Amino acid sequence: MKLMTMAVSLALAVTPVLAQTTSADGPAADSAAGVGVTTDAVFVKLATSSNILEIRSSELARDRAGSDAVKAFAERMIADHAAASAKLAEVAGQPAPDMSADLSGQMDAKHAEQLAALEAVTGEGFEQAYIDLQRQAHDAAVALFQSYATNGEDGAVKDFAEATVPTLQEHLTLVQDMSEAP
């Protein structure tokens, strides 16, 4: 089981690096660091994918985790990222994603791979794999949102990115604290 957890953690750690260097998707290739994302359309696509990853992985944690602290964190991620998805859709002039629907088509390849890797983990290793995924996802989200808040097109989407950064930083701090807990 520890070998499976280590393999999943390694896959989750390597995936963003591979996405940056091997993707043929243009600006999305650098999404893990938020590099090169300067248009609303690309930012909205990446941020939506990130939110879906956060929600779907947290739904798994809500159902599979044994720890009350992990379950509570997962519930918060579901609520916060669903609200962020709805607000992002509003400022982008798009319909809000139906979180009860299959949204896998709205996830980029990196996020889909990360979710699939987490779905494959069962038993004792699940909580640590979820925490590792959340830490990596929030590192990437903070970088993406900070970069867009600085370099994006002026307007409501850029304002949304800037307003969302503190919440994402708080999430990152929470998950880092969970990583360090015994």
Q: pLDDT tens digits, residue range 89-113?
A: 999 999 887 877 777 778 899 999 9
Q: Which string of DSSP letters, residue by residue, matches 58-126? A: HHHHHHH---HHHHHHHHHHHHHHHHHHHHHHHHHT-PPP-TTS--GGGS-HHHHHHHHHHHT--TTHH
Two tokens at 129? Answer: 């794999």
34 has pLDDT over 90? no
Query: Taking a C-beta distance cutoff of 8 angstroms, is the pair 152, 165 a contact?
Result: no
Give the DSSP H/E element, type plus range, for residue 174.
helix 156-180
- Please state whether the predicted TM-score (pTM) of the whole model is above 0.85: no
122/158: higher pLDDT: 158
pLDDT at 95: 86
Residues 71-87: tens digit of each pLDDT? 999 999 999 999 999 99
126/1: higher pLDDT: 126
